[in-house]
Amino acid sequence: MKKPKIALTIAGTDPTGGAGVMADLKSFHACGVYGMATVTSIVAQNTKGVQHIHNLETQWLSEQLSSVFDDELPHAIKTGMIASKDMMKVIQGYLEKYPNIPYVIDPVMLAKSGDSLMDDDAKKDLQNILLPFATVATPNLPEAEEITGLTIEDEASIYKAGEIFINEIGSKGVVIKGGHAEDLDVAKDYLFTKDNVYTFEDPRYETKHTHGTGCTFSAVITAELAKGKSIYEAVKKAKAFISLSIKYTPEIGQGRGPVNHFAYLKKVGLDDE
């Protein structure tokens, strides 16, 4: 039997399974990649919002990562909710030691409910400590504004934000997700690399059930990079994956329900692998 590719997620939890490491592992599986997970924060949340956050001690994260890397190297790494500078420094050490492992950063700052998942100091630390190592960063419009300091209100400002990520921060690639631009009838994302800019469009579906979209999108990119796909190929697959996930939501919960992490697998299968 062929040994599977491995993707590692480093993020917080979601007991309802719609976001965080739970969503990442489902997405890895749907992409045909073996998923591993290390936990940064225990989050009490549901589709209605975030009730409590318990950030683990940095040593606990360090011990988890040590266990993983002492046994089997992942083929790609993803980070989501990272609560503190000390945690970021621990992760940075592994990114420096293994520079050839693709790294995807979902700069999680707010939950879909609007609840803050990161304080102001941690937001600044993210830019200085982790984003320069990113193979792909996946901010939504509010996160891109927070990181770049720009007010993003049109395509020109999106391009300016992309330039800041690539040329000033040092990320190899960045996808600025346009899902928050509710005045458009399409969901348009922009991928910036050092040499090119690509756009991806899909219909915008009228649904409130978008919990975990950012986690899922970035997890699929991670899985595809683990399989050796290019940044462009990985983002293209993630766009198709998340669009189907939103189109066929499972309608779970009383608030903003999760997306369907297996819609792509059911509708398209793995024939494109």
Residue 69: Cβ within 10 Å count: 14
Report angle CA 96, 117, 28 to the nearest 5 degrees.
Answer: 60
Residue 167: exposed, middle, or buried by beta-carbon count in 10 A (0-12, 13-18, 19+)? Answer: exposed
CA 166, CA 78: separation in Å to the nearest integer? 19
Residue 25: Cβ within 10 Å count: 20
Q: Which amino acid is at 26?
A: K
Q: Which residue has the tokens 């039997």?
A: 1
Positive or negative: CA dihedral 84, 86, 87, 93: positive
Catalytic (active-site) positions: 177, 210, 212-215
Give 158's contacts (C-beta < 8 A, 6+ positions apart): 144, 152, 176, 178, 190
Cα-based distances in Å from 21 to 24, 49, 111, 192: 5, 17, 14, 26
Cα-based distances in Å from 118 to 61, 78, 190, 223: 17, 17, 25, 25
